[in-house]
Chain A
């Protein structure tokens, strides 16, 4: 068996030597089991290869090595160092051909770190791996390593790098052959939603969960189902109701996923019927929520309900006594109502002023006049984004119009001779 391995390595290195990168990658892809069957010899093989020269081979061998790794401290130390070095020095030209193997390798690496209890160590490595994978694209390009970074950040409770990554708008997605499978796409948005939920940026979280549940699908995905549950809770946290599913959502969601989320659908009802029914419902289903890791989030609904109630009051009344606020929102004490009002004013969620002398609160309109220079800055930022988005859209449209199979479909069943010859333009794909 060891000879088969030797043979494979020498063949691949010679292909790399001749710069036949595509062939080398294909050859390795076909011989994956040779690598995994010889996991004992892989360290020796790694020692003979140089990451900057044999990037293609090292990516594949390292993947197999990591898959067979046992999470002991010393093994993690060496492998972590090997991966970090590989990511730092790998050859971008060769990397294009093994993006999927690279992503699989990184996935094994993350799994090892998480089972070894030190996910934090991988954050910098994955961050630079993302830059490597984006080398031929912009920072708006989703790679297979994106969900891995979010995974490590969530596992280590260190969310700042994740938020920095998520705040870069994604405008295009790597192909499946480049390491982004449906699973990765769903995970990116699911983890992304979780990260934003954890830092209480519910608007963004809602957006991410929504993308996750409106991804085209033919089969039920557990990721989608969990995203749907969190989507419901986050929707309630934001404005007390759950909107209709987006039109583009797959039929799988209403048909198969909804029935599996009955506890959460009933939660909407409980939330809308007032504080008593909500707290009773949460108490009653606490074991389910706890088991599914949503209990902390569900508990936040209680204060969200009070806040939304107060926000409704601001739309109806101009002035109200603090006692009345407490009564209408069903808080026990006027003191508590004042506390809520104060917090909401601090967060800019309502505009009001409290008059302790008369025990009244005056609700005001939004004092923002939209005439300061920060409004202009905001406008500028949004315009820039729209303009960049439009540029991307034009590019994508051009790419589609040049796509031979699209043209084929558009022209319907026609004579083969009539087809435009796939010209140089297809290389743009």
Chain B
């Protein structure tokens, strides 16, 4: 069951209130697992960190999946980008979190690609493959699909910046209405 990001955000809100409403302050283990995984997916490492800290020790012992999930959180927190994929790929996830973690791999790779595009004008193919957690061949394919050139002699990739997202324009009446509001407000002070 792959959900969209918006659906995950909704699910997170439900899980958060389940945690707050839990009769003795401790919700079922699955709530913790899913919430922790979704925080990671949302790139909200701070929330994940505090969730990990407040999960009772007995639950952590009972449910080793949490420890594994936080293993991912830890490398995300220290921004050890190469290690993120190593941890993500080497772990077998339980049914509760497997779809979330699959989505995390995709979104993290996407984010890293964007970062490479904005931070580098040239970068070694080896570094790209490490950052993306993919084999050289797969990484090369990915970059070429984006139209990035490869300097064969130095094995350097030349990333191109991502085109800026299209801006949405609001109707001009609305804009005019807002401007009128501002002007009448500013004039009032004179």
Determine whether the beta carbon of A124 is less than 8 Å from that of B46.
no
Question: With the chains together, A363 CA to B156 CA distance in Å?
Answer: 21
Asked if B127 is at the interface (CB within 8 A of a chain A CB), the reply is: yes
Q: Does A316 contact B (CB under 8 A)?
A: no
Which residues of chain B from 1 to 37 have a CB within 8 Å of any chain A CB? 16, 19-21, 24-25
B168 touching A346 by the CB < 8 A rule?
Answer: no
Q: Which residues of B contact A383 (CB under 8 A)?
A: 181-182, 185
Bound-state CA distance A342–B122 (Å) is 13
Q: Is A354 among interface residues, defined by CB-CB distance under 8 A?
A: yes
Query: Secondary structure at chain B's binding surface: helix, strand, loop or mixed?
Result: helix
Q: Does B54 contact A (CB under 8 A)?
A: yes
Taking a contact as CB atoms under 8 Å apart, the answer to whether B20 and A353 are in contact is no
Is A372's beta carbon under 8 Å from chain B?
yes
Q: A158 to B19: give the CA distance in the assembly, Å.
A: 10
Instruction: Tell yes or no: B141 within 8 A of A by CB.
Output: no
Given contacts A124-B21, A356-B127, 9 further A-B contacts (CB under 8 A): A118-B25, A123-B20, A156-B54, A159-B46, A339-B79, A354-B120, A354-B123, A356-B124, A357-B151
Q: 29 pairs across A/B with beta carbons < 8 Å?
A: A118-B24, A120-B19, A120-B20, A121-B24, A123-B20, A124-B20, A156-B54, A158-B19, A158-B20, A158-B51, A158-B54, A160-B47, A198-B46, A198-B50, A339-B79, A342-B115, A354-B120, A355-B120, A356-B120, A356-B124, A356-B156, A357-B122, A357-B154, A357-B156, A362-B121, A374-B167, A383-B182, A387-B185, A390-B185
Please list the 9 inter-chain residue pairs (A to B) with the smallest Cβ-Cβ separation, ordered nearest first: A157-B54, A357-B122, A345-B119, A118-B25, A373-B167, A355-B121, A157-B50, A120-B25, A121-B25
The residues of A that contact B79 with a CB separation of less than 8 Å are 339, 343
Q: For chain A, residues 136 to 176, give those with C-beta under 8 angstroms from any C-beta of chain B.
A: 156-161
B62 interface hit (Cβ, 8 Å): no
In the complex, chain B residues whose CB is within 8 Å of the CB of A156:
54
Binary contact readout B95-125 vs A (1 if CB under 8 angstroms, 0 otherwise): 0000000000000000000010011111110
* Chain B residues positioned under 8 Å from A183 (CB to CB): none
Among residues 96 to 133 in chain A, which have CB atoms less than 8 Å away from a CB atom of chain B? 118, 120-121, 123-124
Residues of B within 8 A of A157 (CB): 50, 53-54
Q: Is B190 an interface residue (CB 8 A)?
A: no
For A160, the chain B residues whose CB sits under 8 A away are 16, 47
1/0 per residue A173-187: CB within 8 Å of B? 000000000000000
B53: A residues at CB distance < 8 A = 157
Interface residues on B, range: 35 or more
- Across the interface, which residues of A come within 8 angstroms of B19, CB to CB? 120, 158
Bound complex: CA A118 to CA B122 (Å): 53
Give a binary string over B31-66; 1 marks a CB under 8 Å from any A CB, 0 the rest.
000000000000000110011011000000000000
A118 to B175, CA, bound (A): 50
Give the residue among A123, A156, A161, A353 with the most B Cβ atoms within 10 A.
Answer: A353
B30: shortest Cβ distance to chain A, in Å?
18
Q: Mark B52-84, 1 if CB is under 8 A from A, else 0.
A: 011000000000000000000000000100000
Bound-state CA distance A346–B121 (Å) is: 15
Cβ contact within 8 Å between B156 and A120: no
Contacting residues, chain B, for A159 (C-beta < 8 A): 46-47, 50
Q: Which of A118, A200, A342 contacts B46 (CB 8 A)?
A: A200
Query: How far, in angstroms, from A73 to B131 measured CA to CA in the complex?
Result: 50
A198 to B54, CA, bound (A): 14
- A68–B33 CA distance with the chains assembled, in angstroms: 38
Contact B119 A346 (CB under 8 A): yes
For residue B181, give the distance in angstroms from its CB to the closest CB of chain A: 8
Q: Which of A337-357 contact B (CB under 8 A)?
A: 339, 341-343, 345-346, 352-357
Residue of A118, A121, A341 with most chain B CB atoms under a 10 A cut-off: A121
Q: How many angstroms between the C-alpha atoms of A118 and B79 in the bound complex?
A: 33
Let me know if B176 is at the binding interface, CB within 8 A: no
Expressed in whole angstroms, the minimum distance between the Cβ of B156 and any Cβ of chain A is: 5
Q: Contact between A199 and B122 (Cβ–Cβ < 8 Å)?
A: no
How many angstroms from the CA of A158 to the CA of B181 in the assembled complex? 40
Q: Which of B24, B123, B178, B185 is close to A356, meaning CB atoms less than 8 Å apart?
A: B123
A160-B47, A200-B46 are contacts. A354–B127 as well, Cβ < 8 Å? no
B163: min CB distance to chain A, Å: 13
B145, CB-defined interface residue at 8 Å: no
Contacts of A352 in B (CB 8 A): 119
* B119 pairs with A341, CB closer than 8 A: yes
Q: Which residues of A contact B16 (CB under 8 A)?
A: 160
Q: List the A residue with the shortest CB-CB distance to B115.
A: A346
Q: Who on chain A is nearest to B124 by CB?
A: A356
Residues of A within 8 A of B118 (CB): 345, 353
Complex Cα distance, B98 from A222, in Å, reads 49
State in angstroms the CA–CA spacing of A384 and B54 once bound together. 38
- Which residues of chain A come closer than 8 Å to B170, judged between CB atoms? 373
Interface string of B151-190 (1 = CB under 8 A from A): 1001010000000100111100001001001100100000
8 Å CB interface, B116-156 against A: 118-124, 127, 151, 154, 156
